[in-house]
Amino acid sequence: MKQVMNGDFAASYGAMSALVKYVAAYPITPQTLVVEKLSELVADGEMDAVFSKVESEHSAMAACIGAEAAGIRTFTATSSQGLLLMCEVLHWAARGRLPIVLANVNRAVAPGWSIWADAQDSISQRDTGWMQVYAEDNQEVYDSIIMAYKIAESPDVLLPMMINLDAFFLSHTSEVVDLIDKKDIEKFLPPYEPKFKLNPSEPHAFNALTSPDHYFELTYKMHLAMEKAKKRITEVGVEFEKMFGRRYGLTESYRIEDADTVLVTFGTIAGTAKETVDLLRKEGKKVGNLKIRVFRPFPQEEVCEALKNAKKVIVVDRDYSYGFEGAFFTEVKSALYNKGVMKPLYGMMAGIGGRDVSTGTLKEIVAKAEGEDPKNPYFIGVKL
């Protein structure tokens, strides 16, 4: 069933379609519509779930941890400062191996106060042990949440997953979204049946004090789970395509086969980049685009394979690791270096704080790389 909806509602319907049984959330602009719609769906009886109104984002994640530990499929959503407030319990959820799914509306962090798109909030959480997906459009938001449960709940993964969508460019922009019928969801997504859960009739100890003799091994097991998650994400994407006609992988390539210059993008900028590639191709410039959809686990092999024939690589970041460069640029450089793929690389900062990234912006970025080597990172459009 096709409906016109904004990205926040797409996240809400994604949670309902995934047969989530427990939602705990606290509102924050521009995520508020997600939890408002979920509360309506639960109150109206359309969604068979419990909705908990909590006093903070920290409490929302703590409540989800408790429910998930009891064997209940859970969901929450947040943005910006709310995600930062969750940080302590994000670590707990990941190291507790709880497959919670969270929708994060990427919004700049303060100060100065901003409600506009910026990936600094989720990039700041990249080392918490959560898998991270960056959606290009509202359909991908909806589909990614459904797939997230099948991936995260896999016995050889058991890690939480964060689905990120750009503030306002997706959260408050309406697009056609194809919703999946419940009977088809039930064929695709099995019920959540964890091997171990909180159960008074079958007691176990969970997440107790450990020593250096075991903590290291727990970390290594999370590393192995992330590696297995790469394969699982690909498998689930193929299965999803067979059932519903839409395919999602770790990355997505666009016209890179013969490209001399490849833009590496994520989120909504990826959609603009495809349009820019088409425009530049008409000008006779061999440009392509590589969209990194999954940031954690980082798709090193796929990135290296996609970029192996490019003469120049330009990574566009809507985030900044202060004192160095954009996080996606760092990851791409590391991936290529580790595989011995050496070529000119350019790190471009654009769209910070919600600044628009148009086809003109991306054309300017390509032109910068075609000229003399710009200083890395290069900040596009700074008004100083």
- Tell me the one-letter amino acid at 271: G
Are 118 and 352 in contact by the 8 Å Cβ rule? The answer is: yes
Closest CA to 294 of 267, 317, 323: 267
Q: Is 27 exposed, middle or buried (0-12, 13-18, 19+ CB in 10 A)?
A: middle
137-156 pLDDT per residue, tens: 999 999 999 999 999 999 99
Average pLDDT over residues 91-115: 97
Q: Report how far residue 257's alpha carbon sits from residue 275's, in angstroms, rounded to the nearest whole number.
A: 17
Establish whether the linkage from the previous residue to 160 is cis, with ω within 30° of 0: no
Question: With bands split at pLDDT 50, 70 and 90, how would you rate the model's confidence at 371?
Answer: confident
Beta strand 74-79 with 131-134 is unpaired
pLDDT at 372: 66
Q: Report how far residue 261's alpha carbon sits from residue 281's, in angstroms, rounded to the nearest whole number.
A: 11
pLDDT at 267: 98
6-31 pLDDT per residue, tens: 999 999 999 999 999 999 999 999 99
Sign of the CA dihedral running 3, 31, 65, 211? positive
Closest CA to 69 of 103, 112, 98, 95: 98
Per the structure block, which two tokens stand in for 126? Answer: 């990249």
Kindly report the CA angle at 98 between 95 and 104, in degrees rounded to 5?
95
Average pLDDT over residues 222-240: 98
Does residue 384 have a pLDDT over 90? Answer: no
Average pLDDT over residues 153-166: 98
Does residue 220 have a pLDDT over 70? Answer: yes
pLDDT at 286: 98
Are 163 and 11 in contact by the 8 Å Cβ rule? The answer is: yes
H/E segment holding residue 131: strand 131-134
Domains, the chain: 2-244 (3.40.50.970), 251-379 (3.40.50.920)
Structure pTM? 0.97
User: Residue 47 gets which letter from DSSP?
Assistant: S
Q: Is 205 exposed, middle or buried (0-12, 13-18, 19+ CB in 10 A)?
A: exposed
Does residue 374 have a pLDDT over 70? Answer: no
Average pLDDT over residues 54-65: 98
